[in-house]
């Protein structure tokens, strides 16, 4: 599979941190333009990143966990919320995660606290039934996001304008559905996604799609690649294909999935351009990555 030549013009809104970043990026020929669809104030959380910090099993923020029972939830099946305990850094962006077909929240439990420790409030949910299809999972992701930002015990820790969704398999298909229904979302990350709908040309949420080379359930040729190709170049999209990986790669600890997801969330939810270095040009093909594509020239950050 071919790898596209990266292009590097990053767009974002004004802020003190943004102004400093603009100086360096301008020297590299990168234009910074605010997105009309995003929270555009820089929202950096934590120290300057490095490969080692985004690959770490735990980030710089200590976290705590609280659970939402199925009976207390409305429109989804309850779940676990992981959040930074730090109260000196202001509010945080939020991420809602959905599992795949026949699976429960336990299948994504490895990544939820990992992302939270990087400075996000993360809601790892159960669906109403394990057989719910992508459209239903998309609605449940949005219902969980509304609960998280409006009713949960940690709602005051969240900037409700900075919400992202992600999910595995049919949860990944649901992620695309949620992004199509709610363009105000700041980011979407479908992981080895499955959906019968192949075109998402009207989606306007920055989307990182993770495919797996040896996926025999949602093959990249029938699912991840058509999804990626159908998405508009702006406000941003990327595709990473895991080398020699199966459909279930997102269900166990995976450094490539974690670091790419963290970088994507930091860049588009937090408008933190310190993380653009991990996305543009992104990883090279090698032991863990089969292929990487991006539309950096069209990013709106």
Residue numbers annotated as active site:
169, 215, 247
SS (H, E, C) 77-107: CCEEEEEECCCCCCCEEEEEEECCCCCCHHH
CA distance 94 to 66: 15
Alpha helix positions (H), 57-208 = 111-116, 134-150, 170-181
Contacts 24+ apart (CB under 8 A), 159-163: 159/39, 159/43, 159/91, 159/92, 159/93, 159/94, 160/94, 161/39, 161/186, 162/39, 162/43, 162/92, 162/93, 162/94, 162/186, 162/269, 162/270, 163/93, 163/94, 163/95, 163/96, 163/269
- Three-class SS state of 293: strand
| Residue 158, strand partner residues | 92
The two beta strands, 79-84 and 63-68, are: antiparallel
């Amino acid at each position: 599979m071919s790898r596209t030549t990266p292009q590097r013009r990053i767009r974002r809104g004004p802020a003190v941190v943004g102004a400093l970043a603009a100086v360096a990026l301008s020297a590299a020929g990168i234009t910074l333009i605010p997105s009309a669809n995003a929270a555009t104030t820089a929202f950096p959380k934590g120290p300057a990143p490095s490969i080692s910090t985004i690959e770490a099993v735990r980030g710089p923020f200590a976290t705590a966990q609280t659970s939402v029972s199925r009976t207390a939830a409305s429109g989804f099946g309850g779940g676990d919320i992981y959040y930074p305990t730090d109260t000196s850094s202001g509010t945080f962006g939020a991420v809602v995660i959905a599992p795949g077909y026949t699976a429960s929240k336990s299948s994504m439990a490895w990544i939820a606290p990992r992302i939270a420790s990087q400075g996000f409030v993360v809601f790892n949910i159960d669906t109403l039934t394990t057989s719910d299809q992508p459209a239903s999972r998309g609605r449940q992701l949005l219902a969980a996001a509304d609960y998280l930002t409006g009713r949960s015990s940690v709602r005051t820790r969240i900037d409700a304008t900075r919400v992202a969704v992600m999910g595995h398999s049919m949860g990944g298909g649901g992620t695309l559905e949620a992004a199509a229904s709610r363009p105000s979302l700041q980011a979407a990350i479908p992981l080895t996604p499955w959906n019968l709908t192949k075109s998402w040309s009207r989606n306007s949420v920055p989307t990182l799609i993770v495919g797996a080379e040896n996926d025999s359930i949602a093959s990249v040729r029938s699912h991840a690649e058509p999804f990626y190709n159908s998405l508009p170049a702006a406000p941003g999209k990327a595709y990473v294909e895991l080398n020699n990986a199966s459909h279930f790669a997102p269900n166990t600890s995976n450094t490539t999935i974690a670091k790419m997801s963290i970088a994507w969330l930091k860049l588009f939810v937090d408008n933190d351009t310190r993380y653009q270095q991990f996305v543009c040009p992104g990883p090279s093909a090698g032991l863990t990555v089969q292929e990487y594509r991006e539309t950096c020239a069209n990013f709106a950050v």
